[in-house]
Amino acid sequence: MNEEYDVIVLGTGLTECILSGIMSVKGKKVLHMDRNSYYGGDSASITPLEDLYKRFSLPGTPPESMGKGRDWNVDLIPKFLMANGQLVRMLLITQVTRYLDFKVIEGSFVYKKGSIYKVPSTETEALASSLMGLFEKRRFRKFLVFVANFDENDPKTMEGVDPNKTTMREVYKKFDLGQDVIDFTGHAIALYRTDDYLDQPCLDTINRIKLYSESLARYGKSPYLYPLYGLGELPQGFARLSAIYGGTYMLNKPIEEIIVENGKIVGVKSEGEIARCKQLICDPSYIMDRAKVVGKVIRVICILSHPIKNTSDSNSCQIIIPQNQVNRKHDIYVCMISYAHNVAAQGKYIAIASTTVETNDPEKEIKPALDLLEPIEQKFVSISDLYAPTDLGTDSQIFISRSYDATTHFETTCDDIKDIYKRMTGTDFDFAEMERKKNDIFGDGGDQ
């Protein structure tokens, strides 16, 4: 390892592995190290189940009712992929899809006044939904048609709405939509975490609703996909891509020092040896003094022996509890997957509830989600700080990723990747540059 690299990457979280893959494909000489003996860092999937018990310091070993420990792959960060989203695009253009198998999540639900309902996002579903009264349905249907036809380059489609000026609050008003419809549209379809978007120009919201509808249209059931064997497969897939293009991978490498001279990165010391580099990418845990805490997330991993009530016995689903419905500022999320995804023993389900922490009693904040999951066989609670870089790398050439936030999809992670890419190279990330071929995530005749 006493060599000179273009880029050294520390930590094998998804963000780091995608960037490492991109840099290798672009012909950079990459060295990628992790202090852990496994891939994934904070975004790992833990196997066997015994390791999850150890990680959360639970006394004893899993009871026999949990089946074989090796059958479990439990994600630490709950997220799904939007079928038409940026991560799927990255997987397709880099052909990392060939190392992975995906399943469509069976349903997307939203909480209203104590009960859960399927999220309607097409005209037909809206008309069939018990979430709204008859007149509300008609108005919502009109709104969906407006959004579907909206083209920011064609004023004829805008019905007097200025994408750069009209706020979303004004658009809802134009269609005379009530509070409950606004709640599920903003939070379960446009996937905002707070209500701040209401007073911003409507274009971003319109594009988010389109992303949801187009993702849903792709495979039906829901707009979300999930890889068999857990999310930990994603960083490993991109690590393989990097390796194919000459990237060097080393796990179990303690990092003794990140060497900076005259304010600029020169290399990394591990086990007494120094590897030199021009640029460094790492997660915040490797370089705490160049990052700051920007919030906290609570995540509760719950093992169940039953599907979630009122989800038509789905073996996978998402539930969003809009903040307004439970008097909060941030939404609460539930992502549920099961043995059907090779992440749990036969007959078992894993539901992970998460939200951004607002008070000194986060467990109480997340209770509305846990109430939907009862009876819960085993709970694993974590409260994590979220970090963001204070050093953007302009002078130091050190590029630090952001922690994984409470959102249940990868769109913000991809935004972070594109942002780091731009700061590293001075140019926008261009999907086309990495275009290879193959245009369906299930390949030829794959299982959905």
Q: Which stretch binds ligand NAG (CB under 6 A): 12-20, 27-35, 158-166, 338-346?
A: 158-166
Q: Is 310 in the site for ligand NAG (CB under 6 A)?
A: yes
**In the chain, what's the furthest Cα-to-Cα distance?**
71
Nearest approach, Cβ of 353 to ligand NAG (angstroms)?
14
Q: Is 115 in the site for ligand NAG (CB under 6 A)?
A: yes
Please tell me the distance from the alpha carbon of residue 105 to that of residue 317, in angstroms, as a whole number.
Answer: 6
Please tell me the distance from the alpha carbon of residue 18 to that of residue 20, in angstroms, as a whole number.
Answer: 5
Of residues 328 and 341, the one with the C-beta less far from ligand NAG: 328
Helices 233-244/14-25 angle, 10° precision: 20
Q: Is 302 in the site for ligand NAG (CB under 6 A)?
A: no
Q: Is 8 in the site for ligand NAG (CB under 6 A)?
A: no
Query: DSSP class of residue 75?
Result: E
* Contact predicate 386/294, CB 8 Å: yes
Nearest approach, Cβ of 316 to ligand NAG (angstroms)?
18
Query: Quick one: tokens of 6?
Result: 């273009």
* Contact predicate 224/108, CB 8 Å: yes
Q: Which stretch binds ligand NAG (CB under 6 A): 156-164, 269-277, 322-330, 440-448?
A: 156-164
Query: Quick one: tokens of 363?
Result: 């467990």
Of residues 100 and 203, the one with the C-beta less far from ligand NAG: 203
Of residues 255 and 321, the one with the C-beta less far from ligand NAG: 321
Nearest approach, Cβ of 115 to ligand NAG (angstroms)?
3
* Contact predicate 36/43, CB 8 Å: no
Q: Name which position in 120, 163, 227, 322 contacts ligand NAG (CB under 6 A).
A: 163
Strand stretches in 174-290, DSSP E: 224-227, 248-250, 257-261, 264-270, 273-282
Cα dihedral sign, 432-436-442-443: positive
Q: Which amino acid is at 303?
A: I
DSSP string for residues in 197-217: GGGSBTHHHHHHHHHHHHHHH
Of residues 109 and 245, the one with the C-beta less far from ligand NAG: 109
Q: Which amino acid is at 73?
A: N
Q: Name which position in 44, 88, 110, 116 contacts ligand NAG (CB under 6 A).
A: 116
10 Å Cβ neighbour count for 75? 22
Nearest approach, Cβ of 375 to ligand NAG (angstroms)?
14
Region label for 70, one of left (φ > 0), alpha (ψ between -120 and 50) or beta (otherwise)? alpha
Q: Which stretch binds ligand NAG (CB under 6 A): 160-168, 205-213, 292-300, 361-369?
A: 160-168
Q: Is 107 in the site for ligand NAG (CB under 6 A)?
A: no
Of residues 65 and 115, the one with the C-beta less far from ligand NAG: 115
Nearest approach, Cβ of 171 to ligand NAG (angstroms)?
14
Helical residues (DSSP H) of 56-178, grouped into ranges: 86-93, 123-128, 134-149, 168-174
Q: Name which position in 369, 372, 386, 400 contacts ligand NAG (CB under 6 A).
A: 372
Nearest approach, Cβ of 300 to ligand NAG (angstroms)?
17
Q: Is 313 in the site for ligand NAG (CB under 6 A)?
A: no
Q: Is 162 in the site for ligand NAG (CB under 6 A)?
A: yes
Q: Name which position in 138, 309, 329, 438 contacts ligand NAG (CB under 6 A).
A: 309
Nearest approach, Cβ of 203 to ligand NAG (angstroms)?
7
Q: Name which position in 164, 262, 327, 427 contacts ligand NAG (CB under 6 A).
A: 164
Please tell me the distance from the alpha carbon of residue 75 to that of residue 124, in angstroms, as a whole number.
Answer: 34
Using CB under 6 A, list all residues that contact ligand NAG: 115-116, 162-164, 309-310, 372
